Amino acid sequence: MARGEETRARIMDVAQDAVLAKGFDATSIEEIVAAANITKGGFFYHFPDKNALAKALIERHVSVEDELFDDVFARARELSDDPLQSTLIAIKLLAELIADMPNGHPGCIVATAVYQDRLFNADVREANKVAVLGWRRRFRAAIDEIVAIYPPRDEVDLDDLADMVSGVIEGGLIVSKAVGEPDATARQIMLLRSYLKLLFTPQRS
């Protein structure tokens, strides 16, 4: 990594921790640079203003999650050729990944941005929207493959069903953090898996 890139990443790492714990406005540049061992001037060398940091955090978060989803679905595909089975496997792998995080998943930057959107300019809000729509497209594609073989056993809108993946994760994180049960998120994801199983598994008889 180039000389400056390493510092930039360190700034974003400490900023992300703080933003997830206190929100964006309450996270001061002062404390970020202290934790990252640089000066304020150094911060403004990497980011023109505080809003640019928010945008960078969202975009990095999304690309990290995208890689994670790509990885999980690819591994699942290797384990089964059936689209329903491989999706169920992927969701289980995802739950296991989240369950294995030592102090629980740290939370989702997108969620914090949604509840602080009047702080940000249109750029940041757009990045947030694009992120969630990207997840919808991704999961919708997996669902389309399933539906082509297994007709759903209840009337559902497939985009809504795709959104449910993001929704259950986001909601699971909130419940998990509120009650202080780090693995609650993973268990919520397993319930979503149970739903997909019931919805698409053909009726025996």
Partner DNA sequence: TGTACATCAGTGAACGCGCGTTCACTGATGTAC
The burial of 106, by beta-carbon neighbours within 10 Å (0-12 exposed, 13-18 middle, 19 or more buried), is given as middle
Give the angle subtended at the CA of 65 by the CAs of 165 and 33, to the nearest 5°: 130
The binder of 166, among DNA, its own copies, none, by C-beta within 5 to 8 A per type, is its own copies
The token duo for 78 is: 């290797």
Q: Give the one entry of DNA, its own copies, none that residue 29 binds, where binding means its C-beta sits below a cut-off of 5 to 8 angstroms depending on kind.
A: DNA
Sign (positive/negative) of CA torsion 77, 79, 85, 87?
Answer: negative
Report 24-43 residues binding DNA (CB under 7 A). 27-31, 33, 37-43
Identify residue 3 by its one-letter amino acid code: R
Binding-residue pattern over the window 179 to 198 for its own copies, x denoting contact by CB under 8 A = xx---x--xx-xx--xx-xx
Q: What span, in angstroms and rounded, lies between the C-alpha atoms of 58 and 192?
A: 25
121 binds DNA (CB under 7 A): no
Sole binder of its own copies in the list 13, 52, 111, 182 (CB under 8 A): 111
User: Does residue 87 interact with its own copies by CB under 8 A?
Assistant: no
How many chain residues touch its own copies (CB under 8 A)?
A: 58
Verify binding: residue 5, DNA, rule CB under 7 A. yes
CA atoms within 13 A on the CB side of 149: 12
Among 115, 137, 149, 151, binds its own copies (CB under 8 A): 115
